[in-house]
Amino acid sequence: MPLISHFKTPCPEPVNSQILQLVVDNLTDISMVAIAPSNLLYNLYQYAIGYEVHLYLEALNGTKGIDVELIVATDPDDPDSVIGFLLYLPLKDDPDACAVAYLAVHASHRRQGVARRMLREMVARYPHAELTCAVAKVPYFESMGFQVVGVRETQVLMNTRDHGSDGLRALLDVAPIYSSLEVRQIHAYLLQKHGKRAMQDAEKQRDRHLDQLTRKAREFVRGRLGEDAVPASGPRLRLV
């Protein structure tokens, strides 16, 4: 069984570094964009999503005005080795509710109950929990007590109850990341390396992929909840 640690304050730097490596290694699985490594924009999203998680880890110090909590799973045979993490956001005005932001498990430790254990720890603290996932992963989360309640962007919205919370979900505003100097530099490098036509094709490929994911999620939820089902938007949001 993995060793589980719960953080409400900043965790040690070696833990942060391993979490960020898990983000980079599992980008396609944990990002709503779900961009494939074959897409030329992949490295750009690796940086952007990695930096977003970095900012959430920094927010554990309470200076960014949002509530963030973190569960870290480590190898029982090597307690310094991070094998999974679950980053989630408690909702304001609802002490029972939270929303999963990011979840990843090291490839070598999957199918060993690591994610299940971390989610169980979270739900024990916040029984009204929500998350989003790809259509293919719905049965997995249903086996842990989550149920389909709607759609959020490209993914299926799931909840431990049959409705979302009315609590306020505070999120970091990630728009500045994508307009940052670092992202512009990465894009300029990719443009120089691959050429304008190839980069335009990569953007079109990404957009088609997002459209396909969105359509697939909506069709799945309609099939599950009925033709008249209105995609759920989840809890109210506040960007900080």
Please give the radius of gyration of the chain, using alpha carbons only, rounded to the nearest integer: 18
pLDDT for the residue numbered 59? 94
CATH number at residue 14: 3.40.630.30
Q: Which of 92, 66, 78, 70 is nearest to 8 (CA)?
A: 70
Cα 57 → chain centroid: 13
Q: What is the pLDDT of residues 117-134, one digit of tens each?
A: 999 999 999 999 999 999
Question: Domain of 46?
Answer: 3-239
> How does residue 62 score in pLDDT terms, banded at 50, 70 and 90?
confident
Whole-angstrom CA distances from 56 to 65, 140, 190, 201 are 11, 26, 27, 32
- Evaluate if pTM is beyond 0.95: no
CA 73-90-51 angle, 5° bins: 65
What pLDDT shows up at residue 169? 85
Domain count, the chain: 1
pLDDT, averaged across the chain: 93
